[in-house]
Amino acid sequence: MKAITFRNYGSPDVLKYEDVPTPSPNDDEVLIKIHAASVNAADWHLLRAEPFPVRFMLGLTKPKPKFHILGGDIAGTIEAVGKNVTEFKVGDEIFGDVFNDGLGAFAEYTCARAKMLVAKPMNLSFVEAAAIPLAAVTALYGLRDIAKVQPGHKVLINGAAGGVGTYAVQIAKALGAEVTAVSSTRNLEQSRELGADHVIDYTKENFTQGDKRYDAILCVNGYYPIRDFKRVLTPNGIYAMPGGGNKLLLEVMFLGPFHSLGSKKFKLVASSPNPDRLTDIKNLIEANKLRPVIEKTYPLAEVPEAIRHVETGHARGKVVITMA
């Protein structure tokens, strides 16, 4: 099968498009013919081994063989099933995040545990379904489970135009919130179309200096000091951070507990593959309350270019890889 492999850490230049053996499923796994995959910020972090603790998972000096194919988000069809698998049969259409199954999305085939996969939404194509898992689950987890968003809450999405942000706007609306989306000038209309009640152009306005207060802030991208975010939270407000750069990550990790001593809370959103949450996402999709925003698709051979684009931090929605 064709795959994009990496055997050394570095820039997208170290990636290779080559033939590798097609894997065989273990007893609890299925073999998946991948029709589409999507690129996440996690892919370039793993590729470059940044931050350094990534190496403790993938390998200290170079990636271990089981991680030689990057990519987590997939959509495809079941080609073979292990003897213990009862959830799916050959021909079933699925989607999911194979991050905890050794990655492997940037290839024509991969194996994953059946219990980690979910039947593909009926109203999405494979390309659309591949854009869902990590980003949408992260947004749902951050808003519903970490920030405890309730109907009537005022929610701000900082970085509303990217993969997680576009889902966050829609999920916050589905949860009944009044949503403010922060993005650059060119993305304001997109946020409105996704349901945002208010939009802020961060190139013209610093919302942390305004008078409005928020019950929840999901900080997907962009940097302001944590003390500025604290100022615009309501007395019991929650700040949740699934992204935003290494500087802000360290600030939330080390100063977040101090700033959380009062009623305002600062929390990291450490999302991971979760089929139950992905099923909740599927239900929102099939109820027409959530849809993917896809900026661009690339063929498998052009994964390096796709990763470079996502690494800029300015992708509008999701970037998807097609295998055809």
Condensed to tens digits (0 to 9), the pLDDT of residues 137-191 reads: 999 999 999 999 999 999 999 999 999 999 999 999 999 999 999 999 999 999 9
Assess if residue 226 is contained within a domain: yes
Residues in CB range of 189: below 8 A, 6 or more apart: none
Percent of the chain with pLDDT over 90: 84
- C-beta of residue 218 within 8 angstroms of C-beta of residue 142: yes
Residue 97, strand partner residues: 73
225 & 155 share domain: yes
Residues in CB range of 153: below 8 A, 6 or more apart: 175, 176, 177, 178, 215, 216
The Cα–Cα gap between 277 and 290 comes to: 14
Residue that is last in its domain, among 253, 268, 283: 268
Assess whether pLDDT exceeds 80 at residue 255: no
Question: Residue 247: which pLDDT band, with cuts at 50, 70 and 90?
Answer: low
Calculate the alpha carbon distances from 180 to 163, 169, 186 in Å: 17, 8, 16
- Residue 256 has a pLDDT of 63
pLDDT, tens digit, 9 for 90 and up, residues 19-61:
999 999 999 999 999 999 999 999 999 999 988 888 998 999 9
- Residue 246 has a pLDDT of 60
Question: Residue 249: which pLDDT band, with cuts at 50, 70 and 90?
Answer: low
40 & 148 share domain: no
Residue 47, both tokens: 């590729």
118 & 159 share domain: no
160 & 190 share domain: yes
Compare 256 and 148 and report the one with higher pLDDT: 148
Question: Residue 101: which pLDDT band, with cuts at 50, 70 and 90?
Answer: very high
Packing angle of the helix pair 133-140, 275-286 (nearest 10 deg) = 90
Residues in CB range of 61: below 8 A, 6 or more apart: 55
Query: Comparing 79-88, 129-138, 267-276, which segment has the lowest mean pLDDT?
Result: 267-276
CATH number for position 35: 3.90.180.10
157 & 118 share domain: no
174 & 112 share domain: no
Assess if residue 107 is contained within a domain: yes
127 & 138 share domain: no
Nearest to 311 by CA among 48, 53, 96: 48
The Cα–Cα gap between 216 and 149 comes to: 7
Assess whether pLDDT exceeds 80 at residue 223: no
46 & 97 share domain: yes
Average pLDDT over residues 300-308: 98
CATH number for position 155: 3.40.50.720
Assess if residue 219 is contained within a domain: yes
Burial of 59 (0-12, 13-18, 19+ CB in 10 A): middle
198 & 222 share domain: yes
Assess if residue 49 is contained within a domain: yes
Assess whether pLDDT exceeds 70 at residue 248: no
Query: Comparing 66-70, 75-79, 169-173, which segment has the lowest mean pLDDT?
Result: 66-70
93 & 40 share domain: yes
Task: Give the chain's domain count.
Answer: 2
Quote the domain boundaries for residue 148.
134-268
230 & 245 share domain: yes
Assess if residue 273 is contained within a domain: no
Chain centre distance of CA 190? 19
Assess if residue 261 is contained within a domain: yes
Packing angle of the helix pair 303-311, 41-48 (nearest 10 deg) = 100
Assess if residue 171 is contained within a domain: yes
The Cα–Cα gap between 249 and 91 comes to: 42
Q: CB 116: neighbour CB atoms within 10 A? A: 22
The Cα–Cα gap between 17 and 6 comes to: 9
Nearest to 10 by CA among 61, 72, 85, 65: 61
260 & 139 share domain: yes
Assess if residue 184 is contained within a domain: yes
